[in-house]
Amino acid sequence: MLTRREYWEHRKYRNTIFGMWKSFRWLLHRTKMRIIFFCR
């Protein structure tokens, strides 16, 4: 059984990874849109 502190550490870690992934996806999307716009 996880202690409360370990549980929060795990949650914080997961949220950080998820946030990074989301911002990365957003950045990728913006870059792709810009490339498509310039290529047209």
5-29: pLDDT as tens digits: 988 888 998 999 999 999 999 999 9
Q: What is the C-alpha separation between 1 and 20, in angstroms, rounded?
A: 28
Q: What is the C-alpha separation between 21 and 38, in angstroms, rounded?
A: 26
Q: What is the C-alpha separation between 3 and 20, in angstroms, rounded?
A: 26
Q: What is the C-alpha separation between 9 and 3, in angstroms, rounded?
A: 10
pLDDT at 28 (0 to 100): 96
User: Tokens at residue 12, please?
Assistant: 């914080």
Can you give the pTM of this predicted structure?
0.53
